[in-house]
Amino acid sequence: MNLKWLLVSRITLVAVVCLFAGSLIAIYRVSSIAAHQNAELSNSVSRQLNLQLLRIDTMLDIPKRFPDWDLVTSYALQPGQCVQLLRTDGSVWRSSCSGFEDVSNPTPRWFIDAHTYLIGGEARVALPVSYRGHAEGTVIAISNPGAIATETWRTIAPVLGFSALLTALLCVMTYYVIDRALRPTSEILSGLNRLAKGDLDTRLPRFRLVEINRISEVFNTLADDLKNTSSERAEFARRLVDAQELERRHIARELHDEIAQKLTALSALAACLRIAALQSSKEFVVEAKELEDMASQLMVSLRKTLAHLRPQEIDDLGLLPSLEGLIAAHNKQALGRTRYTIEATGEFENLNSETSAHVYRIIQEALNNAAKHANAQNVRVTLDQLSRGDLKKLALAIVDDGKGTQPEVRRSPYVGSGLVGVRERVTALSGSFDAGPLMNGGFGLRVEFPS
């Protein structure tokens, strides 16, 4: 439940409680009026009968006329009200009742039952009739529960209808007022969602309400700080990774220019020694052959080290030929168990060397990860150059159809499997990174960054 509906429901609940409390007050008020009327009636009848007993005692009346009920019936009884005279043994001596009609405004049965449950049964008031300490009977005034409920319903029914209409109108007006008052919150939530998705340029406007405007000011300040921090972090990461690639290229160049040439010369010299030993000193042939083999092995190891540090073909041939060579090497190593393919769309010759190295490293790490963990039959690499206005971007995707051999790794694609290094490179390129299991099986890694 959102804040708007929560406030409307609370206000509606308060209105209903107030309406219910007002109805209870009206119910108890009608019941108290009925009890008061019964008390007055029983008091009047008791005094009238006591007066008749006095007249009989003073010879102004005859005992046979007691009780003179005609005087009692002259009283105006309320609808549903009864008055009785009971003998001392509890039997009914005289009784008079007034009926009530419930035709013009019939009372619902549920209201009569609820009224009886809340108020109780008949409103009963009893007073004794006695003269000089001798009890002659008891006067009882009773109101029919249905009559009291009917009178109560007639009192509160118009109020209930008007109150229900007023409550509905209040809810509509409250919803409209709260909707207008909380309309800025939708902009705040939209801004938070955009910020959570990485749109650090999101800013909130000024609002009229002081409290909400303060939220806007704090949000904008935090967004500015977050953008500056992210920019500084991305710039630092870019410089760090670029420096790493430059250092690798420098080391690779030094190894290639110095050690590789000397190893080549050493291998040639060992071959010359082996040929000379075959002609003059055959006892040195074995040592010369071992020296030649050792130089060859060192050359192979050096080439692997150079390829790991900085593939020479990136600088010599370009990015796409280097990637095609990488795909070919994986196909050769897989021995037909896995088929690696690459699709490229766009022009990549103008990319700077650092960006080309980053793309190569990302694909290299993803392919190594697929070879180790995917257990896939097909691994597809797609590289696209996108143009969105004046902004050009590179979109890179590596998708496999494997089931994987380490479920705990696949459930956590951002932890382990070399993907942390991929994410750091993407951060250095100010790009976006997404990796994880696919809906139809397999694993996918998608990267997008400005070119």
Three-state SS for 15?
Answer: helix
Which region among 11-20, 204-213, 420-429 has the lowest average model confidence (pLDDT)? 420-429
The pLDDT score that the predictor gives to residue 398 is 92
The pLDDT score that the predictor gives to residue 414 is 39
The pLDDT score that the predictor gives to residue 1 is 63
Q: How far is CA 36 from CA 39, 41, 42, 153, in A?
A: 5, 9, 10, 19
Three-state SS for 115?
Answer: helix
pLDDT over 70 (residue 199): yes
Q: How confident is the model at residue 397 (pLDDT cuts 50, 70, 90)?
A: very high
pTM for the structure as a whole: 0.47
The pLDDT score that the predictor gives to residue 311 is 66
Of the candidates 154, 126, 153, 120, the one whose C-alpha atom is nearest the C-alpha of residue 138 is: 126
* Span 68-82, pLDDT tens digits: 888 777 777 888 888
Strand partners, 436: 444
Higher pLDDT, 272 or 32: 32
* Span 349-369, pLDDT tens digits: 777 777 788 888 888 888 888
Which region among 107-116, 129-138, 312-321, 381-390 has the lowest average model confidence (pLDDT)? 312-321
Ordered structural domains, the chain, with CATH? 3-180 (3.30.450), 317-450 (3.30.565.10)
The pLDDT score that the predictor gives to residue 133 is 80
pLDDT over 70 (residue 177): yes
Three-state SS for 415?
Answer: coil
Q: CB within 8 A of 22, min separation 6: which ones?
A: 159, 163
Could you give the percent of the chain with pLDDT greater than 70?
Answer: 90
Which region among 198-202, 298-302, 305-309, 365-369 has the lowest average model confidence (pLDDT)? 305-309
Helix-strand-coil percent breakdown of the chain, rounded to 5?
Answer: 60, 15, 20
> Which range, 148-157, 297-306, 378-387, has the best average confidence (pLDDT)?
378-387
Q: How far is CA 368 from CA 239, 333, 363, 380, in A?
A: 25, 11, 8, 13
The pLDDT score that the predictor gives to residue 102 is 59
Q: How confident is the model at residue 8 (pLDDT cuts 50, 70, 90)?
A: confident
Q: How confident is the model at residue 297 (pLDDT cuts 50, 70, 90)?
A: confident
* pLDDT, the chain, mean: 80
Roughly what angle, to the nearest 10 degrees, separates helices 210-254 and 285-309? Answer: 160
The pLDDT score that the predictor gives to residue 212 is 85
Give the DSSP H or E segment for 432: strand 432-437
Cα separation, 371 vs 417, whole angstroms: 11
* Span 316-332, pLDDT tens digits: 778 888 888 889 988 98
- Interior angle at CA 57, CA 52 and CA 63, nearest 5: 65
Mean pLDDT, residues 44-48 taken together: 88
Mean pLDDT, residues 24-38 taken together: 85
Q: Cα 304 to chain center, whole Å?
A: 52
Higher pLDDT, 171 or 193: 193
The pLDDT score that the predictor gives to residue 413 is 41
The pLDDT score that the predictor gives to residue 408 is 45
The pLDDT score that the predictor gives to residue 281 is 67
pLDDT over 70 (residue 308): no
* Span 422-451, pLDDT tens digits: 877 787 777 888 888 888 888 889 998 877
pLDDT over 60 (residue 410): no
